[in-house]
Every structure is written in C-alpha cells, then in structure tokens.
Amino acid sequence: MNLQDILYVAEIARTGSFSKAAENLYVTEPTISQQIKKLENELHVQLFRRSTRRVELTGAGEAFVRHAAPIAASYEALRDSMRQLSRESQRSLSIGMMTNMYAVRLPEFFRAFCLAHPDLDAKLQTSSYLELRESLLRGQIDYAVLKMHADMKKYFDTRVFTRVLLREETLYVLLAGHLAPAGKTELRLRDIARLPVIIDSVGSSMYRTVEQMYQEAGLELPLAAIHTGDVETVLLSVEHGDGITFGSDSIIAYYRDRYQFTAIPLVPTVMNSIYLVCRKELRPTSYDRALFRGLREWLKSDKAPEGNP
C-alpha cells in the first residue's frame, strides 16, 4: 500500500464512482480499477461493492477511509502549500483565457500588466473552457478568464473553484439586415426559428448555450455550420446572409466596424458574464491582487468596448 492507493480510495469514496475518480485524478478507469483490486488482494479485504448505479464502501472500506481521509487531506494541503511557496518565490503568474477574450482585448491588457511588473514571470495561454478547467485542477495555470453562462457554472463548482464576476454581458441575435424581421426591436427564438444558425464550436461554449436555449424553447436547432474555428469566419458568413449567430456586448463592439450585421436583443434576456476563476485553495500573492485591480479597471474603462450596438 502506498500514498497513491490512499488517494484512489479516498476519491472513489468521495465521488461514488470509479470513472469520476479516474477523471478527477487524471488516470484511466482501468488503471484505477486494477490498482484497487491489487490493494484489496494485498489487504485481504473488499473495500467497495460495485453495482450498475453506484460504488459503495464495505465495512472494511469505511474503516479504511476513516484512516485514509486525513492522510489524503494532509497530502493535498502539503501540495498546495508548496505550490503557493513556489509561486511567491519564483514571482510567477499563469493565466488561461478563452478565444472570445480577444474581444475585450485581454492580451493587450496582459502585455501592459507585464510591462508594469518586469520582475514577474507571467504566462498567458488560450484554451477551451473545459481545457481551462483541467489546467486549473492540475495546477498548470493559476487563473482563467472566461465567459460563463448559467449552464457552464456546473463545470466550475464553488466547492472546488472560486469565481469572481468581472463583467456582465447580454446576448444578442446577429444577422444580416435583410434577414431581420421587420419592425422587431427584440427577438424571441420563435421569431428566428427557421433561420440557420452558424456557431464557432471549436474551443467555444456558445454551441452548448444556444443548443440549450433551443431545447428549452421546444425548438430544433437549425445548424448551417458548427465547426468554423473562429468568430471572424462566423461573422463573415452572417454578413453574407448565410445564417444567424449570437454574440454578447463585447463581441458586437469589437467587430461592428469590421463586419456588417444587425444586432437585436434576445428575449428573455440571456446573461453571458466574464469571470476570473481559480482553485478555491489558491491564496493570492501581491501580483495576483494587482492583477485583480487591473482587470476590473480595464473592463470598466473606455479601452474595453462596452454598451449596446
């Protein structure tokens, strides 16, 4: 028996699932299953009862977890403490962002922040929101800046992550002028139900947002294309009248001088807000606090596009 065995058992007990525990510990399900079987053979006890619905602890398993849980918790605390000391001593800061953060000029802010703190080892990377989640959990990045609608919040549970609201935005329907229903100053999904929808699904959360909206309205999502790769391809298709898309305040403000489209508010209102996310146990350094202040000021300033189209 070793520390890895203890962590495996504690995580399976916590989640009630071999597959979920494997996912959280970044190993395959066969790996964790084989290791538990090996541990049970070594200890000559059965730790778990496996069923099609849920994995449950046996009496021996409950006794094991009573002793193992404090060890697992101490290990996690030690690891997090060392990470924190490493960040402070090395003066490091790593941030991940979704591609739609270009619309609020986050890379421009980050360059200015690095110039103001030349002794800081700072890194910025771009990923999808699920990749950002995994990078946060693995400690590969300290913070993520991302747009998050209601459905996305389940991926960033407040028991594991701290979410700081930086800015609230609303969702609009973007379409070529000739496709806009006459006399409409706001649109419901039923007003545009037959128009094809073009969505960037590569590294984006918008597809899931829109899919859920259509499902809740009892409508079929009429897709024209979903694998476009970037928002500019989407907006060019919208400008040509190939279909419609959806975008928030910052997307509209950033691209309205580059592409021709009409933006009409969607009702009921759908919020798509910008959050700064980190692991709950991460303690901010002085550089982190400077980052928080700078981000808030940036997003409230004239440098960041705001307002309705």
68-113 confidence digits (pLDDT tens):
889 988 887 887 777 767 666 668 899 999 888 888 889 999 999 9
CATH architecture classification, 91-167+274-300: 3-Layer(aba) Sandwich (3.40)
The answer to whether residue 226 scores a pLDDT higher than 80 is no
What is the per-residue pLDDT for 84? Answer: 67
Cβ burial, residue 103 (10 Å; 0-12/13-18/19+): buried
pLDDT of residue 201: 66
What φ, ψ does residue 241 adopt, rounded to 5°?
A: 80, 20
The predicted model gives 282-293 an average pLDDT of: 87
Greater confidence (129 vs 68) lies with: 68
Per-residue pLDDT reduced to its tens digit, 6-53: 989 998 998 888 888 887 787 888 889 999 999 999 999 999 988 767
Please give the average per-residue pLDDT across 161-175, as a whole number: 92
Residue ranges, CATH 3.40.190.10, the chain = 91-167+274-300, 171-265
CATH of domain 171-265: 3.40.190.10
**Fold topology of 3-82:** Arc Repressor Mutant, subunit A (1.10.10)
Return the sign of the alpha-carbon dihedral for residues 191, 193, 194, 198: positive
**pLDDT at residue 224, as a whole number:** 77
Mean predicted confidence (pLDDT) in 220-241:
84
What is the per-residue DSSP string for 15-77? HT-HHHHHHHHTS-HHHHHHHHHHHHHHHTS--EEE-SS-EEE-HHHHHHHHHHHHHHHHHHH
Burial label for 125, CB within 10 Å (0-12, 13-18, 19+), is: middle
Is the pLDDT assigned to residue 192 strictly greater than 70? yes
Query: Sorting pLDDT into bands at 50, 70 and 90, what band is 193?
Result: very high
Model confidence pTM above 0.85: no
Domain with CATH 1.10.10.10 in the chain: 3-82
Arithmetic mean of pLDDT, 233-259: 91
Per-residue pLDDT, 182: 87
